[in-house]
């Protein structure tokens, strides 16, 4: 009896300690910082104040950037689904003996550093880049398009490229779980292939779609490397602001307040999609 209890404690202690040390305590610290302020000589004043939040909600800059981040994340999700769902569908239902190969092809980019993939797009979109060279060579345009790089477009394309596998994998998992008799049964009852897709396959794959979309949304929403490398002033995202506030601006209290707001948005989105996902699951 006693030894099993001690074993249980030994097993649960490391993850518990990890969560406390590296998640719970930092969040508490962040929360505290967001109520403190900067003094005359840039020192932290440990007096609770709502000034950071007041500044955040009155200065239109923050709201604009948050909305832009949401918009970019939403575009990334939409594009990832448009590319990822058909890819997952093909992989599960039509890839035949190339299925394993294709599956690997989806996963392998995940092994390549994020930075390398982001720089690759810089090479493609740049003024002397692959795309512009091709466009000029084919006389589609007379001068290289300078609007390709350093734009929200470049950020969205890069993030989509990076997060498509995060959509494909859960959708593949949910499509694989659909019993084949259900598709046969649907067709047997007179449903044309597109009706079977809309009425059986799509609804039953929604849990995968929701979890993939949530993942891609949250990861894009909090991304700061893609806008840093490929975005211009018009595509600054909220994570860049936080990074600046903690770095160059050295305003930790305001940075913490922005981080808390981001955290709240993320938690809200997560709880909504989790509830949606649970409602879609049928065993």
Q: Does 283 bind another protein (CB under 8 A)?
A: yes
Looking at the DSSP bridge assignments, the partners of residue 45 are 37
Q: Does 140 bind another protein (CB under 8 A)?
A: no
Token code pair at residue 7: 């074993």
Count of residues touching another protein (by CB under 8 A): 21
CA distance 65 to 114: 23
Segment contacting another protein (CB under 8 A): 4-12, 80-88, 193-201, 238-246?
A: 193-201
Within a 10 A sphere around the Cβ of 77, how many other Cβ atoms?
25
Q: Does 282 bind another protein (CB under 8 A)?
A: yes
Binding test (CB under 8 A) with another protein, winner from 4, 137, 188, 233: 188
Residue (1 or 189) nearer to another protein, CB: 189
Residue (109 or 203) nearer to another protein, CB: 203
Residue (48 or 182) nearer to another protein, CB: 182
Token code pair at residue 282: 């049928």
Residue (47 or 177) nearer to another protein, CB: 177
DSSP 8-state symbol, 41? T
Q: Does 97 bind another protein (CB under 8 A)?
A: no
CA distance 257 to 255: 5
Residue (69 or 174) nearer to another protein, CB: 174
CA distance 95 to 280: 27
CB of 70 to another protein, least distance (A): 30
Residues across the chain = 283
Contact 145, 135 (CB under 8 A): yes
Helix runs in the chain, H state only: 2-19, 25-33, 51-58, 60-93, 99-107, 114-125, 130-137, 152-176, 180-188, 193-196, 202-221, 225-230, 238-246, 252-280
Segment contacting another protein (CB under 8 A): 15-23, 60-68, 188-196, 229-237?
A: 188-196
Binding test (CB under 8 A) with another protein, winner from 59, 147, 195, 271: 195
Binding to another protein (CB under 8 A) within 200-259 occurs at 200, 203-204
Task: Give the interface with another protein as residue ranges (CB under 8 A).
Answer: 179, 181-182, 184-193, 195, 199-200, 203-204, 280, 282-283
């Amino acid at each position: 009896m006693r030894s099993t209890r001690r074993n249980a404690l030994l097993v649960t202690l490391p993850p518990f300690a990890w969560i406390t040390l590296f998640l719970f305590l930092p969040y508490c610290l962040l929360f505290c910082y967001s109520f403190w302020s900067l003094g005359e000589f840039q020192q932290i004043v440990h007096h609770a104040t709502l000034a950071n939040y007041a500044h955040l909600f009155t200065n239109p800059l923050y709201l604009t950037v948050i909305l832009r981040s949401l918009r970019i994340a939403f575009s990334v999700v939409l594009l990832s689904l448009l590319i990822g769902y058909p890819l997952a569908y093909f992989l599960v239902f039509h890839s035949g003996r190339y299925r394993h190969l294709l599956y690997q092809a989806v996963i392998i980019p995940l092994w390549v550093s994020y930075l390398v993939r982001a720089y690759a797009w810089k090479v493609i979109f740049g003024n002397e880049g692959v795309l512009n060279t091709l466009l000029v060579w084919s006389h589609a345009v007379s001068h290289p398009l300078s609007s390709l790089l350093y734009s929200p477009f470049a950020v969205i394309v890069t993030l989509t490229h990076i997060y498509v596998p995060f959509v494909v994998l859960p959708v593949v998992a949910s499509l694989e779980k659909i019993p084949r008799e259900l598709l046969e049964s649907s067709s047997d009852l007179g449903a044309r292939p597109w009706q079977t897709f809309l009425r059986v396959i799509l609804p039953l794959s929604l849990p995968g779609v929701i979890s993939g979309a949530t993942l891609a949304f949250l990861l894009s929403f909090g991304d700061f490397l893609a806008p840093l490398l490929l975005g211009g002033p018009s595509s600054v995202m909220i994570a860049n602001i936080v990074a600046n506030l903690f770095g160059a601006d050295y305003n930790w209290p305001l940075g913490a307040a922005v981080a808390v707001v981001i955290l709240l948005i993320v938690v809200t989105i997560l709880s909504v999609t989790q509830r949606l996902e649970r409602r879609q699951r049928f065993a």
